[in-house]
Structure 1
Amino acid sequence: MVFLVAMPLSLGIAVASDAPLVAGLVAAVVGGIVAGAIGGSAVQVSGPAAGLTIIVADLVQTYGWRVTCLITVLAGVLQLALGACRVARAALAISPSVIHGMLAGVGVTIALAQAHVLLGGTPHGSALADLARLPDQVAAAHAPSVLVGATTIAVMLAWSRLPALGRLRPRLLPAALVAVVAATAVAAGTGWPVERVALPDSLAEAWSGPALPAPADLHGVALGVVTVALVASVESLLCAIAVDRLHDGRRVRLNRELVGQGAANVASGALGGLPVAGVIVRSTANARAGGRTPLAAILHGVWILAFVGLFAQVVELIPMAALGGLLVLVGVQMVNLAHLRDLRRHRESTVYLVTLAGVVALGLLEGVLVGLGLAVLLALRRLARLSVRTQEHAGRWHVVVRGSLTFLGVPRMTQALRAIPGRVPVDLDLDVDFMDHAAFEAVHAWRLDHERTGGSVDIDEVHEKWYERTSARTPPTAKTLPPGPVRWWAPWAMRHEVDGDARVSGLLLAGAREYHESTAARMRSLMSRLAGGQRPRALFIACADSRVLPNVITASGPGDLFTVRNLGNLVPPYDPAAAPRDDSVGAAVEYAVEVLEVPAIVVCGHSHCAAMRALLEGAPGDAGDAALGHVARWLRHGASALARLPGLPASAPAAEQAHELARLNVVRQLENLLSYPGVRRRHEEGRLELTGMYFDLATAQVHVLDERRENFVAVPSAAVPHPRAAGDAPDGEPAGPTRGAVVRRRRPDGPAH
């Protein structure tokens, strides 16, 4: 399949590069065999690449073909050196907007040049010249060449859209091959006088190896070596990474792939071939056709060599206008509008368009440099993006600085700080992801000046302690807030001025605005992936207490926890004959276990639980109490835990008894879960973990149930191993939980699972 794709494209790229036609075939053979055998990608196919056509055409026109072959060899040597130095990943630092813009510019240049070939003429050396002279070429078009080229384009566009006829599927044959064969058949059948492919009569005649340049050209040749090496390397590495998404075999080894590309270019240049690079069209065809090892790439080169050796006369029947039509369509398709739409969402479309225009108007190297320069400027601008917001309320000033606080943003921040009157209290929130020394000096100098005038400054850092670390050696002269900055999970009252009669709806809207300003854009990509369905990792049963935040204490995110909350984190035992029945918790348990197939269920209790205090003191009201009747009836599900509460000394504080009951309650609810048939079955099969947790509000510490010691153990602050990697914990230690939330539970008859 790759061989059928490569044959017409190799000839067409040789035409576009103003190189001998056989040079494209040599590059295809060498790229397949050498790069496939030595490179680090399992499915990437290398050969002459459309992205290099402008460079090669310029080199051929400037220095001649044989010196271009030497440049190809030296570019390969440079690639070998880069691969040996293991710097392949550095090439990936180039912005994709520059790469896509470069390829689009190359595509426009190819299409403009080959439009002249399709019309029966010849290109004029530059994209602007080809564009300027295109109207004259259209007026003097050679009708047979136009018809042959139009046939090629029409077949390529229509081939993939044809319906399947039984087992005959159009996509089994490459559109490029079918189009060239159809155009060749039309030209041969009609006897139209069109220019055809001319191959040399013998291998000796075909070979034209490298030659040394003139001394005056050494500087230009060196620049050409670097350009060919870098463009070929970046294109090959990006192609290899992209093709990795199309198969599930061995991942690409980038440095080895760079070495393989270098070896292929040395061999191709020495044999009189075009520069070699990884080609996305051939590589994609290889992966989709079932290629999984480098053998496919190697054999495609063997088939090309055998075909040219045995059927050269068939190749010579191909009209040049057919290759011109093929390249016009290939060039147009290189302007990928999908890339432009993606870049617009990331606000990088300007770099794409400027690079495209630069390649077309100035040349490939110049256009790429212009695009890189613009990408760097935009990156610096983003790094310097800073917002400073000041607000005064009841004589107290609140200043919020967001962004990256570097010397570039110091003037704007200083202007806002200097506008604050003296002798007033100021809350300064530094919501910054970086602060350089110039910014620290500006903040610190303003703070000292403001405090000398009788004012006060409270500095709160929302991310890392940039200011605090730098000022550690300078004793503060004003009281500052204690460590522990106000963050998104802090209550409204700690982030906003909340009056006693503040409307909750206003706070909700303020919170929603803050979410949209700071979080929604970052979550959009994640939530779009989760919108199609949920696969939670655990059913999390917690108390409805507003101080318990399951996602915070487990450091989990959207889609991780299927959460059920109620008074006292209770699970009514399974009893289909009970009346009245409470189906809410049971429905959630059944849905999580039977439909979502969660691998774990967590019951989380907490200290200072009002439900536990109510059980100790006697349930509020009674079943007939209109005000709290539901509460009384619900708390009956916790009576079994109360019955197991050991006798504590009469002098024991009520709070201690409530904490002990909250822990026992977690154990009891885990037992209730096993009364559900689906839970017990999956638990006994080893497919469901049952976990107990306890959250101490006063210390903000998470504890996990260790059944071997029958108590709760505080989760250590150090990182804990992932349960997939951790084995059973030693005796006396909690089993290795992840995210502070998972402890392994043993089956009565088997090991931990």
Structure 2
Amino acid sequence: MIPDTKSTRLSTLRHDVPASLVVFLVAVPLSLGIAMASGAPLAAGLIAAVVGGIVGGALGGSAVQVSGPAAGLSLVVVDLVQTYGWRATCMITLLAGAVQLVLGVFKAARAALAVSPAVIHGMLAAVGVIISLAQLHVVLGGNSQRSAVANLIELPGQIADLHGHKVAVGLLTIGVLAVWTRLPKRVKVVPAPLAALVAAAVTAWAFGWEVTRVDLSDSVTHWAFPVLPQGDWHLVVAAVLLVALLAGCESLLCCVAVDKLHGGRRADLDQELTGQGVANMVSGALGGLPLAGVIVRSTTNVRAGARTRCSTILHGVWVLVFAIGFGWTIQLIPLEALAALLVFIGVQMVNLAHIKKVHGHGEVPVYVVTMLAVILLGLAEGVLAGLALAALLALRRLTRVTVLKHEERDGRVQVTISGSLTFLGVPRLTRELRAIPHGAAVDLDLNIDFMDNAAFEALHSWRLDHERMGGTVDIDELHDEWYTLAASGGRMFPVKSPPKAPDRWWLPWAHRRRRPVTTPGPAGAECQLTVGAREFHRRTAPHLRPIFTELARKQQPTHLFITCADSRIVPSLITASGPGDLFTVRNIGNLVPRKGSEPHDDSVVAAIEYATQVLGVHTITVCGHSGCGAMAGVLSGGVRAGSLPGLRRWLRHGNHSLARFIETEGDRLHSGALDVLCRVNVQQQLENLRTYRKVDEQVRAGKLELVGLFFDIASARVHMVPPVRPGLSALREDGRTEAGDGRTMIV
């Protein structure tokens, strides 16, 4: 189908153009501030914004992500500028882009998502702290030091020696940024960073304050090609890889986050990494900062209504037009105002929502260690420390073993071992197993997904020792048979196995691998149920507890399910339903007594009234089954009911079904007559339901549907049974209905 180019252009004009203008207004002050924090020429920030918008937007894999200079890379750039100089830093940016391009071509983008988010968030928080401490000195009228610790030590002296006008401009900028989010939406159309810088510039000009002006002498018109860094090439390669990986990870994680904010096409991460690589190569060649996907600008783009990559590209065009035509206005901005903007941005990078999220996953230590290591040691060292701690914690979780012991009333000891059995868990495993009394009968459940040789040897040795001391050990494996394979000398699986359903819960007791222990006599069934309940508590309840916790407040079933009391019919199994879905009524023959019929019965009627008038079910289903003993009793005229007077009285409610069957079948009794009667009975019970006024009214109003089902036990198949309509006779032996004109309908 050929797209409507006219409607596409109109959509771009309506949504993407306004969004691009909003992002442009946010991008300019942020780009200048990040360039300042990076120790680079201010024009480098604008160049990176232009390239990120035009090149990154055109070639990237996300339709709405905005790329540009990123605060998270500023520490790396500062160190590179101080070590190699600005032009060599541009070459490192260019080479880092080439590395990203190669990684994108070889489909390596997904590997970046393996980095723990706690490490990334901790790194960004540390960068925010360092930027805030450094730029706070500029706000106070001084100069920032080389390290965060030095900035912190020098801060009291800087506060004591305040520079009035410069401090006032900085405080004014921070005040506008803080207040702006609380203003009406009409005012917040102007981005807060732009409003803060304009307010600071106008105020400083109006009152003639003595402030430091932004120096844009090295404008975009002065360009020199990057040069190769001089020094140890090992360190240069490490710098290139650091810039490539940090920028790539930040871009890809931002891409994933932005995908959650819009309903358009999902991002292609490999294409995004390739686009970022090309953009960094161009930015480095033109003298711009290294760039990455930036969450602030990307979020602004989505919230402003962007639909396509046109918004990202246009924002880069607007930055270019501004830099060439109106770049002189930047020199009106006080340097202290840019520093205050960076202080504010740095504080926001310590995101409390991120801390809460990593706390929920037990990764606060990774976050804290990464942040402190970056602040005290450096960016690369801090990231490596965070990755190492994250790997150790992951290894600890993956190798965690739980051993639960429970002594039954008959003296048997129930032991459940869960987790991954590796050599790291052997000490605890052996300690717990050796605490079991000698001679005890042990039921050992292995709820594990991996077992290495050390764990097998420890478990097997304990089993042999325990049996030698007169005890017994019955091992049951809930997943793949790791112990059985190892004991038989078979080849072990190379990786963890996916979990299987615990012990095939749907099978009858007689078909289980290990039957519940019962005592002979009348109490046998009760003991079997008790053992089954304990099995439910141990294996199934933990999976279903969240569902039952929610259902405990209120039941909201959508179906009333009326079926036979036959033990072979399991409603939730044959309908694939779960807890809370079916409001179930079971009786002999799945009968619904007609209104006013004798013998009088309120049980079924009460359930129907409650389901339709209180619970508000949408469907009432009557389900019969093959070989129904109740219908056999009806077909025999009550003879098969024998000396069971209560059953004979109850089966009178099936006389209408028998009458309908005789009317259609006559005297032709055949081998399949019973199942035909079972199907006719379902149809008759659907008719009986409509003898109740409320049910009939809801059916006529379309608020309630009556459905008939027939379960063929031998084939384990569920068939639809249509209600009787005028002109249709009852069901034939082969499961079809005959219409008055001789046509047949498969049901």
Shorter-chain TM-score tier:
0.7 to 0.9
Deviations 1:334-357 (A, max 9, x none): 111112122222222221122222
CA change 1:613–1:5 in 2 (3 A) is farther
Name the stretch that deviates more: 457-466 or 319-328.
457-466
* Cα displacement (A) at 1:447: 3.4
Deviations 1:61-115 (A, max 9, x none): 2221111111111110010001000111111111122121121111111111111
Mapping for residues 249-260 of structure 1, pairs under 5 Å: 249-260=264-275
> Is the Cα–Cα contact under 8 Å of residues 564 and 588 in structure 2 kept in the other structure?
yes
Give secondary structure in 2 for the equivalent of 1:458. Answer: strand
Number of the residue aligned with 2:82: 61
Pick from 454, 473, 483: which aligns with 1:457? 473
Distance 1:302 1:671 in 2: 73
CA change 1:498–1:533 in 2 (3 A) is same
* Cα displacement (A) at 1:253: 0.6
Number of the residue aligned with 1:703: 717
Mapping for residues 89-488 of structure 1, pairs under 5 Å: 89-164=110-185, 169-200=186-217, 203-205=220-222, 207-214=223-230, 216-393=231-408, 394-452=410-468, 454-471=470-487, 486=503
> Is the Cα–Cα contact under 8 Å of residues 589 and 631 in structure 2 kept in the other structure?
no
Mapping for residues 679-694 of structure 1, pairs under 5 Å: 692=709, 694=711
Distance 1:106 1:127 in 2: 10
Deviations 1:191-216 (A, max 9, x none): 111112121365442x24311111x3
> Is the Cα–Cα contact under 8 Å of residues 518 and 528 in structure 2 kept in the other structure?
no
* Cα displacement (A) at 1:302: 0.2
Mapping for residues 488-503 of structure 1, pairs under 5 Å: none
Give secondary structure in 1 for the equivalent of 2:418. Answer: strand
Distance 2:121 2:621 in 1: 48
Deviations 1:613-653 (A, max 9, x none): 88679999x9xx9x989x977x7765555556689999999
CA change 1:159–1:466 in 2 (3 A) is same
Name the stretch that deviates more: 232-241 or 341-350.
341-350
The code of the aligned residue for 2:23 comes to: V
Number of the residue aligned with 2:587: 567
* Cα displacement (A) at 1:455: 3.9
Distance 2:393 2:70 in 1: 30
Number of the residue aligned with 2:38: 17
Name the stretch that deviates more: 640-649 or 104-113.
640-649
Deviations 1:298-350 (A, max 9, x none): 00000001011111121111111111111111111111111212222222222
* Cα displacement (A) at 1:413: 2.1
Deviations 1:399-444 (A, max 9, x none): 2212222222233223333344555432111122333343334334
Distance 2:163 2:347 in 1: 22
> Is the Cα–Cα contact under 8 Å of residues 47 and 289 in structure 2 kept in the other structure?
yes
Deviations 1:555-575 (A, max 9, x none): 55567x354444369585998
Distance 1:58 1:176 in 2: 26
Mapping for residues 642-657 of structure 1, pairs under 5 Å: 643=659
CA change 1:65–1:423 in 2 (3 A) is same
The code of the aligned residue for 1:180 comes to: L
Report the TM-score when normalising by structure 2.
0.78
Distance 2:108 2:556 in 1: 39
Structure 2 stretches lacking a partner, 5+ long:
1-21, 491-499, 725-733, 736-741
Name the stretch that deviates more: 320-329 or 196-205.
196-205
2:558 paired with 1:518? no
Give secondary structure in 1 for the equivalent of 2:162. Answer: coil
> Is the Cα–Cα contact under 8 Å of residues 542 and 605 in structure 1 kept in the other structure?
yes
CA change 1:690–1:651 in 2 (3 A) is closer
Distance 1:59 1:520 in 2: 55
> Is the Cα–Cα contact under 8 Å of residues 502 and 540 in structure 2 kept in the other structure?
no
The code of the aligned residue for 1:567 comes to: N
CA change 1:430–1:617 in 2 (3 A) is farther
> Is the Cα–Cα contact under 8 Å of residues 119 and 141 in structure 1 kept in the other structure?
yes
* Cα displacement (A) at 1:533: 11
Name the stretch that deviates more: 219-228 or 568-577.
568-577
Distance 1:412 1:52 in 2: 45
Give secondary structure in 1 for the equivalent of 2:212. Answer: coil
The code of the aligned residue for 2:369 comes to: V
Number of the residue aligned with 1:737: none
Give secondary structure in 2 for the equivalent of 1:409. Answer: helix
The code of the aligned residue for 1:408 comes to: L
> Is the Cα–Cα contact under 8 Å of residues 75 and 127 in structure 2 kept in the other structure?
yes
Give secondary structure in 2 for the equivalent of 1:93. Answer: coil
Number of the residue aligned with 2:605: 582
Deviations 1:179-235 (A, max 9, x none): 121112111111111112121365442x24311111x33111111111111111111
> Is the Cα–Cα contact under 8 Å of residues 430 and 460 in structure 1 kept in the other structure?
yes
Name the stretch that deviates more: 155-164 or 108-117.
155-164
The code of the aligned residue for 1:190 comes to: F
Give secondary structure in 1 for the equivalent of 2:420. Answer: strand
The code of the aligned residue for 2:63 comes to: A
> Is the Cα–Cα contact under 8 Å of residues 628 and 678 in structure 2 kept in the other structure?
yes
Number of the residue aligned with 2:48: 27
Alignment RMSD, CA only? Answer: 4.8
* Cα displacement (A) at 1:395: 3.9
CA change 1:363–1:536 in 2 (3 A) is farther
The code of the aligned residue for 1:88 comes to: A
* Identity fraction in percent: 51
CA change 1:112–1:565 in 2 (3 A) is farther
The code of the aligned residue for 1:191 comes to: G
> Is the Cα–Cα contact under 8 Å of residues 683 and 708 in structure 2 kept in the other structure?
no
CA change 1:202–1:134 in 2 (3 A) is closer
Name the stretch that deviates more: 501-510 or 452-461.
501-510
The code of the aligned residue for 1:175 comes to: A
CA change 1:21–1:485 in 2 (3 A) is closer
Name the stretch that deviates more: 25-34 or 128-137.
128-137
* Cα displacement (A) at 1:127: 1.5
Name the stretch that deviates more: 309-318 or 69-78.
309-318
Distance 1:531 1:59 in 2: 61
Give secondary structure in 2 for the equivalent of 1:209. Answer: coil
CA change 1:417–1:265 in 2 (3 A) is same
Mapping for residues 726-745 of structure 1, pairs under 5 Å: none
CA change 1:557–1:706 in 2 (3 A) is closer
Distance 1:531 1:288 in 2: 39
CA change 1:12–1:537 in 2 (3 A) is farther
Report the TM-score when normalising by structure 1.
0.77
Give secondary structure in 1 for the equivalent of 2:711. Answer: strand
Give secondary structure in 2 for the equivalent of 1:408. Answer: helix
Give secondary structure in 1 for the equivalent of 2:308. Answer: coil
* Cα displacement (A) at 1:539: 6.7
> Is the Cα–Cα contact under 8 Å of residues 648 and 657 in structure 1 kept in the other structure?
no
Distance 2:482 2:610 in 1: 49
> Is the Cα–Cα contact under 8 Å of residues 564 and 585 in structure 1 kept in the other structure?
no
The code of the aligned residue for 2:455 comes to: A
Give secondary structure in 1 for the equivalent of 2:474. Answer: strand
Distance 1:260 1:527 in 2: 48
Deviations 1:635-687 (A, max 9, x none): 7765555556689999999xx9988766655565567789856667869xxx9
